[in-house]
Amino acid sequence: MLNKNTSSRPQPGPNLERKLNLFDSAMIMMGIVIGSGIFLTTGIMARSIPSPGLILLAWLVGGLLTLAGALTYGELGAALPEAGGQYVYLREAFGSLVAFLFGWVLFLVYMTGGIAALALAFSEYIGSFFPLLSPQQVIFSLNEGHFLHYSLSSGQLLGVGLIIFLTLVNFRGLIFGKTLQNFLTVIKIGVVIGLIILGISLGKGQTFSLNWHPAQLSFTQLLSGFGVAIIAVSWAFDGWNNVNFVAGEIKNPGRTLPLALILGTIGVTLLYLLVNIFYFYALPLPETIGVVRIAEKAVSNLFGASAGSLISALILISIFGAINGSILAGARVYYAMALDGLFFHRAASVHRRFRTPSFALFIQAGWASFLVLIGQFEQVLTYTMFIAIIFWVAAAAAVFRLRKIKPELPRPYKTWGYPFVPALFILASLGLILNTLIQRPIEAGAGLLLTATGLPIYFYWKKRVNP
């Protein structure tokens, strides 16, 4: 039996307020997506598909698949414009257990771990300007026996401080959080476009061949490599659906949310394609293969070695904005879970003065800070990307199920190209899942086990709600 839409019932005390317009929503979406991935991924992709043409095609395919997801999620967000986004869709379509497991993974590792990873990446890059603040600057070390090894760096402390600072910004009110997000997103998009225009107008780069068929690779190798590249692209697009988490605070969500998803996805895809054209204009293909910090190398090659620090500064701004957006969006999922009695009760509270889910924000900050301090979670985070894609499939399938079981839901926007667009998104995502099961069965199994740890927690909270 499906749960009632409990989060739509009147709640005692203050509620969240709808203060996000189309621009705000699009900036949240783009600001979360454009983190560090676009500045680090292309060189890794070049190892699997050493062809500018195939790499550009992979980014285009990734953008089109994300657009298919955005068109699909647009209907869900317009029909169920509540805080929590995907959690709500899964609950209404498949019941509270599936929804809870999504929220559990989100809180345990996926969102909080992403925030922690971004915070550590921020300290890594700021360390190039101020070495005393880098993760390599160890300030405490403990080594006891064979099993107890721990070190604490100034970079970790900086990461924790950054998470606390941005949490306080978002605690003080949605206006503060969205204003900072808008500013940071506009700055990083503007700087990237400026670099591309300046670099190409100087004319110091080179023409490059698309070269669709690298001679050294067979068709089977290219097909496999293209699949690996698409997974890397999916990582760079990750977070595109997080704006749905704040649907309960978007004005006129039936129109605004679908438009923000669609315009944001198109904008990010175009920007990613332009950045990659810039890379291949600045660097010969052999000099891109395996290069992690490809953006710095491309800028240094065009503008001189000293210009590489400009990219480090840009990545700092980009990461800062991605953390802020993730903190703003993530807390709304735990708030929605708490309204259903499936998370700490206090997480359902809204601050009387600031109208923000204060306890949800602080518990998210506390756990993300803990992950920063232990510093050994990056591999676990890769497991959860596999699980995240499974939940993407489930949410897209919710469009079909909700049309069947809840035809009365208001749908001010319906998925363009239904049923083919959501079916395409589901099939493509299933392909990524299958590829991960074949290529990385241990990691996939670990992700499933991690998700399963939520089962006893779910039944414990469920028993408290219905003793």
* Residue type present at position 70: A
Q: What is the DSSP string of 320-357?
A: HHHHHHHHHHHHHHHHHHHHTTSS-GGGG---TTT-S-
Whether pLDDT at 98 is above 90: yes
Distance CA 166, CA 33 (A): 17
- pLDDT for residue 397: 96
Distance CA 298, CA 200 (A): 12
Q: Percent of the chain at pLDDT above 70? A: 94
Element (H, E) at 458: helix 454-465
Whether pLDDT at 204 is above 80: no
Residue 409 lies in a domain: yes
- pLDDT for residue 324: 95
Report the SS3 class of residue 164.
helix
Radius of gyration of the CA atoms of the chain, in A: 22
Residue 121 lies in a domain: yes
pLDDT tens digit sequence for 293-319: 888 888 888 888 777 788 888 889 999
* Average pLDDT value for residue range 321-339: 95
Q: Please tell me what DSSP assigns to residue 146.
A: T
- pLDDT for residue 439: 75
* Average pLDDT value for residue range 169-198: 93
Report the SS3 class of residue 252.
coil
Beta-ladder partners of 150: 142
- pLDDT for residue 219: 76
Per the CB < 8 A criterion, the answer to whether 20 and 246 are in contact is yes
Peptide bond into 419 cis (omega under 30): yes
pLDDT tens digit sequence for 425-461: 999 889 888 877 887 788 888 888 989 999 999 999 9
Distance CA 195, CA 278 (A): 9
- pLDDT for residue 8: 42
Number of domains observed in the structure of the chain: 1
Whether pLDDT at 7 is above 60: no
Lowest mean pLDDT among 153-167, 217-231, 273-287, 437-451: 217-231
Cα dihedral sign, 291-32-237-193: negative
Beta-ladder partners of 144: 148
Distance CA 57, CA 340 (A): 43
- pLDDT for residue 4: 40
Distance CA 433, CA 390 (A): 7
243 pLDDT tier (thresholds 50, 70, 90): very high
pLDDT tens digit sequence for 62-73: 999 999 999 999
Lowest mean pLDDT among 204-213, 326-335, 359-368: 204-213
* Average pLDDT value for residue range 139-144: 81
Whether pLDDT at 242 is above 60: yes
**Max CA-CA distance within the chain?**
71
- pLDDT for residue 182: 95
Distance CA 460, CA 68 (A): 37
Express the helix, strand and coil content of the chain in percent, nearest 5 each: 75, 5, 25
* Average pLDDT value for residue range 136-148: 79
Whether pLDDT at 380 is above 70: no
What are the CA-CA distances from residue 105 to residues 2, 388, 452 (Å)?
21, 8, 9
* Average pLDDT value for residue range 123-135: 87
pLDDT tens digit sequence for 244-261: 999 999 999 999 999 999
377 pLDDT tier (thresholds 50, 70, 90): low
* Average pLDDT value for residue range 40-46: 87
SS3 per-residue string spanning 64-77: HHHHHHHHHHHHHH
Q: What is the DSSP string of 236-247?
A: HHTTTTGGGGBG
* Average pLDDT value for residue range 43-47: 87
At 357, which CATH number? Answer: 1.20.1740.10
354 pLDDT tier (thresholds 50, 70, 90): very high
Of 370, 71, 28, 292, the closest CA to residue 182 belongs to 28
- Angle of helix 420-439 versus helix 441-452 axis, rounded to 10: 110
* Residue type present at position 429: S
11 pLDDT tier (thresholds 50, 70, 90): low
Beta-ladder partners of 141: 151
- pLDDT for residue 308: 77
What are the CA-CA distances from residue 175 to residues 84, 107, 239, 252 (Å)?
19, 24, 21, 17
Q: Percent of the chain at pLDDT above 90? A: 57
- pLDDT for residue 310: 83
Alpha-carbon 191 to chain mean position:
21
Domain that includes residue 351, residue range: 16-140+169-465
Q: Residue 329 class from Cβ within 10 Å (0-12 exposed, 13-18 middle, 19+ buried)?
A: buried
Residue 4 lies in a domain: no
Q: What is the DSSP string of 254-311?
A: HHHHHHHHHHHHHHHHHHHHHHHHHHHHHS-GGGTTT-SSHHHHHHHHHH-GGGHHHH
Distance CA 233, CA 40 (A): 11
- pLDDT for residue 5: 40
Distance CA 449, CA 297 (A): 40
Distance CA 343, CA 359 (A): 11
Residue 7 lies in a domain: no
Whether pLDDT at 18 is above 70: yes
- pLDDT for residue 362: 97
Token digits of residue 455: 């089962």
382 pLDDT tier (thresholds 50, 70, 90): low
What are the CA-CA distances from residue 373 to residues 360, 363, 380, 408 (Å)?
20, 15, 15, 48
Whether pLDDT at 203 is above 80: no
* Average pLDDT value for residue range 113-142: 87
Token digits of residue 235: 């990582």
418 pLDDT tier (thresholds 50, 70, 90): very high
**Which range scores top for mean pLDDT: 49-58, 149-158, 356-365, 423-432?**
356-365
How many helices (H) and strands (E) would you count in the chain? 18, 2
* Average pLDDT value for residue range 92-103: 96
